[in-house]
Amino acid sequence: MNILKNKYIYGFLTVVIGFLIAAGPQTVFQVCGVHEHSENVMKCFWTARAELGVGVSISILGLLSAIFGNPILRLGLTAGVLLNGILALLIPTVLIGVCGSNHMNCRALTLPALSVLSILIVAVSVIQAVYLRYTNKEGTQEDGKQTVND
DSSP conformation class of 26? G
The reply on whether position 137 binds other proteins by CB under 8 A is no
Among 7, 24, 25, 107, binds other proteins (CB under 8 A): 107
d(CA 79, CA 87): 12
The reply on whether position 3 binds other proteins by CB under 8 A is no
Find, among 18, 9, 118, 22, the residue nearest to 74 by Cα.
9
The reply on whether position 146 binds other proteins by CB under 8 A is no
The reply on whether position 103 binds other proteins by CB under 8 A is yes
Task: Give the SS3 label for residue 99.
Answer: coil
Residues 39-68 that bind other proteins (CB under 8 A): 40, 42
d(CA 97, CA 20): 18
Number of residues that bind other proteins (CB under 8 A): 19
Q: From the CB of 63, what's the least distance to other proteins, in Å?
A: 25
Burial of 38 (0-12, 13-18, 19+ CB in 10 A): exposed
Q: From the CB of 84, what's the least distance to other proteins, in Å?
A: 20
d(CA 93, CA 7): 31
Q: From the CB of 64, what's the least distance to other proteins, in Å?
A: 27
Residues in the site for other proteins, rule: CB under 8 A?
A: 32, 35, 37-38, 40, 42, 99-104, 107-109, 112-113, 115-116
